Homo-oligomer: A and B are copies of this chain.
Amino acid sequence: MFRQRLGEAAGQIQTQFKHVLAGFDDLPVVQGMGYATEGGKRLRGFLVLESARLHGVDTKRAIWPATAIEALHAYSLVHDDLPCMDDDDIRRGRATVHVKWDDATAVLVGDALQTLAFELVSNPECGTGDVRADLALSLARASGAQGMVMGQALDIAAETAVSALTIEQITALQDGKTGALIEWSACAGARLAQDDPQFLSLYAKALGLAFQIADDILDVEGDATKAGKRLQKDSEAGKATFVSLLGLERAKSRARELVDQACDALSPYGAEAATLQDTARFVISRDR
C-alpha cells in the first residue's frame, strides 16, 4: 500500500509541476526549474498528501502544498550543489543544474523555485485565506534563517570548525537542514483542515531525525549508482555524522528506536495512520 501510494503521489506531483510550469514563458531558467523538479523520492510531498488524507482533505487541495514543498526542497538542492556550496556534479543520477546550464542560471533556478513554493501554497485552490496564510507563514519559518537555512549555515560553519561537532550540535544542525521541512510536510494535512498538528508534529520530529541518521548510514554503506548522488562525502571531508559519533551499529539501533517513536506518535489516529507508519519504516530501509 505504501509503495503504491508513494508512486501515485510522485505521479500527481510531477503532473502538477508540468501544469504549473506550462503557464510560464519558455526561458532557460524555466527549463531548469522543470529539470530540477523531476525525479526524487517525493517523500515530502507524499507526507503532505498522506497527512491531508488522514484529516479528510481532498487531494485537489493538498496537491498545492505537496508540490510547493517539493519546489522548496528542489531549490535547496540546486543551491546546495553550487560550486561555492557543496560543489556536486550529480543529483538524482543526472548532471546538476549548474553543470547542465551554468552557475548564474542555477542561482536563478533556485531563487525562482523558492518563489514558486510560496506561489503554490497561496493559490486560492489550496483553501481559505486563513489556511493559505498559515501555510505560507509556517513554510517560511521552517525554511528560513531559523529553519532550513540555519541548518545549512551551521553545516558550512562545521566545515571550518576547529573541533568536530558534538551529537547535540549535529542534531540541531540536522533538525534545521532536514527536520524542519519534513515536519512542515507532515503537519500540512492538519493545517489544511485547520486541525491541531500535535501528533503529526511528534511523528515528524522522530521521522526527520531517523531520516538523517539513515542518510548518514547510506553515505557510508550505500551504492552511489542506486543513490544517484556522490557518497562517502562526509567521511572524506572528515565531517562528524551520526555514524562517526555513534558508530554504525548504535546509529542503526537509534534509527530503529526513532521509527518506533514515530509510529507510536500516530496511535491516536488508529489504523488510518498505517501508511504513514509504513513511511517511517521505509525511511530507514531505503537505498537512495
Contact = CB atoms under 8 A, between A and B. Distances in A.
Nearest to A80: B107
Contacts of A110: 111
A123 interface: yes
Contacts of A161: none
Contacts of A77: none
A152 B108 contact: yes
A129 B140 contact: no
A139 B8 CA distance: 32
Interface string A17-29: 0000001110111
Interface stretch (A37-45, A141-149, A201-209, A236-244): A141-149
Contacts of A114: 111, 114-115
Interface in A14-63: 23-25, 27-30, 33
A73 interface: no
Q: Is the interface of A mostly helix, strand, loop or mixed?
A: helix
A153 interface: yes
A232 interface: no
Given A129-B129, A132-B129, A146-B24, A140 B153 contact: no
Interface residues of A, number: 54
A260 B196 CA distance: 53
Given A103-B84, A150-B27, A119 B141 contact: yes
Interface in A104-161: 104-105, 107-108, 110-112, 114-116, 118-119, 121-124, 128-134, 136-137, 139-141, 143-146, 149-150, 152-154, 156-157
17 contacts: A25-B146, A28-B157, A30-B145, A84-B102, A84-B104, A85-B104, A104-B156, A105-B156, A110-B111, A119-B141, A122-B133, A122-B137, A129-B129, A129-B132, A132-B132, A132-B133, A132-B136
